[in-house]
Amino acid sequence: MARIPLIAGNWKMYLTVAEAVELGRAVAASSKGLKDREVMIAPSFTALAAVIEAVAGSPVKVAAQNVAWEKEGAYTGEISPVMLQDVGASMAILGHSERRHIFGEDNAMVNQRLLGALKFDLTPVLCVGETLEEREQGATFKVVEEQLSQGIKGVGSDRISRVVVAYEPVWAIGTGKTAGKEQAQEVHAFIRKVLAGLYEKKLADEIRILYGGSVKPENVDSLMAQPDIDGALVGGAALQSESFDRIIHYL
Ligand code: PEP
């Protein structure tokens, strides 16, 4: 089965509701008629409902930037998968490095979030990636394998192809430093090999692995030309409609 590339914008903690609606409309216009790729945007929680309404009728999928694992309960500050379903979100980013490193989310918590997302029919985008220190210590593969295998723990063969993985080297996020295309491809191929070991090759070949870390109009084409790069998770360059438009229309 051919993997449909996914270009995803993570809007992080930016934009008012009005600004998010304006950008959402621009992304919907950019995505009109696209058949060979999918587009996703992840506004802040406060803008989700308005952005979902703004892109209605377009192929753009709207994601949350995180999700809790229970339907409801005493979890102050969290948003449940049912609440996301209720507003019409269809995907959720999990384990973003900012969640891991600023807010202390560990692999076990990311796993709970991922299982919660799957249980309530949200497509999870599981982020994994090493810090600069870990790369310099030669620990990239070990860290990525741990984050991946622990993140998807408990997901059976019947559901694994619904998971999207995003390789985001922490040293490349928001820094302007992108992993070289061969450097990124090497880790993507490794991720697919780990998945093939945990499931089977056929299933591993169906899973989309996005690259994230300073993806820009200037580097998207060469990254997307790599055989195991199936899309991009874009932060900074997703906040301007012109640059995201060019990224969506990678060659
Ligand atoms: C991100 O937020 O996931 C990201 C990759 O950010 P940036 O593109 O700005 O590096």
Atom number of ligand 1 nearest to Cα 214 = 10
Torsion, CA 237, CA 239, CA 240, CA 246, rounded to 10? 50
Quick: pLDDT tens for 34-79: 999 999 999 999 999 999 999 999 999 999 999 999 999 999 999 9
The answer to whether residue 215 scores a pLDDT higher than 80 is yes
Spatial neighbors of 85 by CB under 8 A, at least 6 apart, are 120, 121, 122
Q: Are 177 and 222 in contact (CB under 8 A)?
A: no
Q: Is residue 47 part of a domain?
A: yes
- Residue 233 CB–ligand 1 contact under 6 Å: yes
3-state secondary structure of 234: strand
Q: Is residue 66 part of a domain?
A: yes
* pTM for this model (two decimals): 0.97
Of all protein residues, the one whose alpha carbon is nearest to atom 2 of ligand 1 is 235
Of all protein residues, the one whose alpha carbon is nearest to atom 1 of ligand 1 is 235
What does the pLDDT read at residue 175?
Answer: 84
- Please, what is the end-to-end C-alpha distance for the chain in angstroms? 21
Quick: pLDDT tens for 164-187: 999 999 998 888 788 899 999 999
Q: Is residue 230 part of a domain?
A: yes
Could you tell me the distance, in angstroms and rounded to a whole number, from the CA of residue 117 to the centre of ligand 1?
A: 22
For residue 152, give the CATH number of its domain. 3.20.20.70
The answer to whether residue 3 scores a pLDDT higher than 90 is yes
Could you tell me the distance, in angstroms and rounded to a whole number, from the CA of residue 245 to the centre of ligand 1?
A: 16
The answer to whether residue 1 scores a pLDDT higher than 80 is no
What is the residue range of 198's domain? 6-248
* Among 27, 93, 18, CA closest to 55: 27
3-state secondary structure of 137: coil
What does the pLDDT read at residue 174?
Answer: 82
- Residue 178 CB–ligand 1 contact under 6 Å: no
Number of domains the chain contains:
1
Could you tell me the distance, in angstroms and rounded to a whole number, from the CA of residue 72 to the centre of ligand 1?
A: 30
Q: Is residue 136 part of a domain?
A: yes
* Phi then psi dihedrals of residue 71, to 5 deg: -65, -40
- Residue 213 CB–ligand 1 contact under 6 Å: yes
Q: Is residue 214 part of a domain?
A: yes
Q: Of 38, 105, 168, 188, which is the active-site residue?
A: 168
pLDDT band at 209 (very low <50, low <70, confident <90, very high): very high
CA atoms of 15 and 44, how far apart (whole Å): 8
Could you tell me the distance, in angstroms and rounded to a whole number, from the CA of residue 172 to the centre of ligand 1?
A: 8
Q: Are 135 and 169 in contact (CB under 8 A)?
A: yes
Of all protein residues, the one whose alpha carbon is nearest to atom 6 of ligand 1 is 235
**CA distance readout (Å), 190 to 7, 58, 141, 167, 194:** 21, 34, 8, 11, 6
Atom number of ligand 1 nearest to Cα 96 = 3
Atom number of ligand 1 nearest to Cα 238 = 8
Average pLDDT over residues 89-111: 98
Mean of per-residue pLDDT scores for the chain: 97
Q: Is residue 1 part of a domain?
A: no
Of the chain, the percentage scoring pLDDT greater than 70 comes to 100
Quick: pLDDT tens for 116-134: 999 999 999 999 999 999 9
Atom number of ligand 1 nearest to Cα 12 = 2
Q: Is residue 70 part of a domain?
A: yes
* Among 17, 26, 88, CA closest to 247: 26
What does the pLDDT read at residue 112?
Answer: 98
